[in-house]
Structure 1
Amino acid sequence: MIKIITSLITNDKPGIIEQLAKIVTHHNGNWEASNFSQLAGKFAGVVEISVAEEQQTQLITALQQLQQADFIIDIATSSLSNEQAKTSHIIEVTGNDRNGIIKDVSSVLAKNNINVLKLSSETSPAPNWGGNLFKAIIEIQASDTNAIDAAIDGLESITDDLIVDITLL
């Protein structure tokens, strides 16, 4: 089996997932994982598809044809299976929003050799503070607990209003 990772951006409208799913099904692909969001009037996301090697070229060609329908498509392939099951952790980071907060958070994780498996972030009004509240949920893997402890210390030192919680999965 070949893994095809496809990212896309297009104008938001009903039926985008269905259109993509029909292509995958028509070429005997298996939709394994995805993450999609509507962002600023655009629909963006990524999907992992597994497909038999003999169907790979036809599926990729069909996905690329979406570019004619105003999709921005990027496709990567891999013969690797899903990551072996490893212990992962969830880190929740909450604090006042400011420019560069994602850069600072990701820098601390990288310096501690922590792999980001999934990152979801958002800002929302913080009425009591008069600004926006930043929140990120980050699924990570680390080589050892010392790296995680060091990362938490590093995250908490970014600013005094940042709250960091961690959950073992």
Structure 2
Amino acid sequence: METSFIITFIGDDRPGLVEELSAVISDHQGNWLESRLSQLAGKFAGLIRVSLPSDRGALLEDALKQLSERGLSVRVHTLTEADTSASNERAIRLSIMGPDRPGIVREIASALARQAINVIDMHSDVSSAPMSAEQLFTANVEAEIPASSDLDALTDTLEQIANDMSVDVNMDLL
């Protein structure tokens, strides 16, 4: 019987880090199913979903925790059947861009939370605008919307935030 696990980790970015993780997973008969890995501010962090024989989970967790000697903080979470069941909710993508200022993420996240909209993926960045060198905030958000959500009300709320914060917010149904 196979069991699925989510492995979370963070450590100083360095060559060979992914190889170390993949070797431990492979050595314990694990199958690397999917991942989200990223370097940010000199750190390397990620989420990895693996499957392996049920009786190998504790051994895998012990082996991964030994990587802390090399500066890597690792946690292993066992997934249940409910964790892996597919969602039947609709999906949206938000694109946000404008002058950087505190509170943009909070305002968008609050608007989504009020309608029980679940953020499933978010990438954001602050960079210099090409012509003015002004700090420019950009974000891409994917979220799941309950079938009962009022898209018109969400659109109105996002437009109000866009006006108040001087940012562009675009929403697309996926």
TM-score in terms of structure 2 length: 0.86
Give the Å deviation of 1:20.
0.7
Partner of 2:47: 46
Partner of 2:172: 167
Q: Does 1:6 align with 2:3?
A: no
Partner of 2:86: 84
1:158 to 135, 158, 161: 161
Partner of 1:136: 139
Question: How far apart, CA to CA, are the structure 2 residues paired with 1:58 and 1:126?
Answer: 49
Give the Å deviation of 1:60.
1.0
SS of alignment partner, residue 77 of structure 2? strand
Structure 1 residues 129 and 156, CA gap change in structure 2 (3 angstroms) = farther
Partner of 2:117: 114
Aligned residue-pair number: 169
TM-score in terms of structure 1 length: 0.89
Identity %, equivalent residues:
33
Question: How far apart, CA to CA, are the structure 1 residues paired with 2:158 and 2:29?
Answer: 44
**Aligned-partner residue type, residue 58 of structure 2:** T
Contact 2:38 2:44 in 1 (8 A): yes
Give the Å deviation of 1:76.
1.7
Question: How far apart, CA to CA, are the structure 2 residues paired with 1:77 and 1:114?
Answer: 25
Unaligned runs of 5+ in 2: none
SS of alignment partner, residue 94 of structure 2? strand
**Aligned-partner residue type, residue 12 of structure 1:** D
Q: Which moved more, 1:83-92 or 1:2-11?
A: 83-92
Question: How far apart, CA to CA, are the structure 2 residues paired with 1:148 and 1:138?
Answer: 16
**Aligned-partner residue type, residue 159 of structure 2:** E
Structure 1 residues 113 and 4, CA gap change in structure 2 (3 angstroms) = same
Q: Which moved more, 1:141-150 or 1:19-28?
A: 141-150
Question: How far apart, CA to CA, are the structure 2 residues paired with 1:147 and 1:107?
Answer: 16
- What does residue range 70-81 of structure 1 map to in structure 2 within 5 Å? 70-80=71-81
Contact 1:142 1:148 in 2 (8 A): no
Deviation string, structure 1 residues 48-90 (Cα, Å, up to 9, x no partner): 1122211111111111111111112222222225341533221
